[in-house]
Amino acid sequence: MATIERPHATGHKAKHPRHEELEAMVRDGRIDTLIVAITDMQGRLMGKRVQAQAFLNGVIDHGAHFCTYLLGTDMEMNTPAGFTLMNWDTGYGDWIASPVWDSLRVIPWLEKTALVLGDTIDEETDTEIPVSPRTILKRQVARAAKLGYAIKAGSEFEFYVLRDSWEELSESGWGVPRTFGYYNEDYHLLQATKAEPLHRLLRNQMTEARVPVEFSKGEAAPGQHEVNIRYDHVLESADRSVIFKHGAKEIAYLNGWGLTFMAKPDHRWTGSSGHLHMSLWDVDDHQLMHEDGSKRPYGMSDTMAWFLAGMMALSRELAIFIAPNINSYKRYASLSW
């Protein structure tokens, strides 16, 4: 697997404007806690909270250490055998989460807290860990650029809002969760009002955290909802997506609700999807999916037709992303949605 060398060695990078912005916020007391996070194989944010002055004294330049096992766990944080880069035979060491300054955000739902995502770095070789999800995506973006393409994407997430917190559900023996609602909520403004206190927080606080939520609505089952995030270049869109899913659960938890993005929390419920709306552009930021004068339906360009054909041809391989865990396959049962 190819490694990705970093453009500047650790500790020798020029200051990014957000680096300086963070220093100013720490000095004047607006920020006292920094979250340094990576994305694990389940799409979750993992990392550390760092006291702000400690961050400025070292982490800001060198990054934060984390155990290598974080990129080799299952959903329950077990460590299955068979991984080359992290296993019990060789022992679990540390890698570095090196701050990606473009990802720095003040987190309005947590007091005096900012978050920065990290690229995962092998400290000995100063190269990115090839199996890190963010590094894998960066590699694909670079491959597309060599072909003359830029990729943009926008996320659309469906989820259930629950009246019970996860602690309450656990204490009850994981009985049937109570949803916010009793009626099909699809586009139903009155029904969606029941969860509007949460949706208002999601729309406004996420947008304040540079995760621009454009729309929210009720979905096709009681307590099911949907949020749309504005499209951008695919790496930025991926960063927004992991921050949204993590932050939505935090906001719900802090207000005594449960929230789940599970594909099928209950076999009787309508399934929840995560839609990824993608488009191809050239490197000069001209869209390539529509072509004036095209004889194809809706002005579809040849590039778009080939793009769709490739998705269909590789649908079996793409199943690892479309249905990444056991729960996903509950949506593929007969007569299931």
* CATH number of the domain where residue 171 is located: 3.30.590.10
Cα-based angle 135, 40, 120 (whole degrees, multiple of 5): 40
**Is the model's pLDDT at 173 over the cut of 90?**
no
pLDDT tens per residue across span 248-264:
999 999 998 999 999 99
320 with 188, same domain: the answer is yes
Number of H helices, E strands in the chain: 10, 14
137, part of any domain: no
pTM for the model: 0.92
The pLDDT value given to residue 8: 47
Mean pLDDT value of segment 179-200: 91
**111 within a domain of the structure (yes/no):** yes
24 and 71 share a domain?
Answer: yes
Q: What are the C-alpha distances in Å from 47 to residues 68, 96, 115, 161? A: 12, 11, 10, 26
Is beta strand 113-122 parallel, antiparallel or unpaired with respect to 33-39? parallel
- In degrees, to the nearest 5, what angle opens at C-alpha 246 toward C-alphas 65 and 60? 30
Local structure of 318: helix, strand or coil: helix
Could you tell me the two tokens for 260? Answer: 């789940």
Question: Which one, of 68, 75, 60, 174, lies nearest residue 124 by Cα?
Answer: 68
Reading the block at residue 162, the tokens are 């629950």
pLDDT digit string, tens, across residues 150-170: 999 999 999 999 988 888 888
Using alpha carbons, select from 130, 113, 134, 128 the residue that is nearest to residue 39. Answer: 134
In a domain, 140, yes or no: no
pLDDT for the residue 259: 95
State the CATH number of the domain containing residue 17: 3.10.20.70
Q: What are the pLDDT digits (tens) for 237-249? A: 999 999 999 999 9
Cα angle 179-182-188, degrees, rounded to a multiple of 5: 105
Q: Could you tell me the residue range of the domain that residue 11 belongs to? A: 4-84+91-131
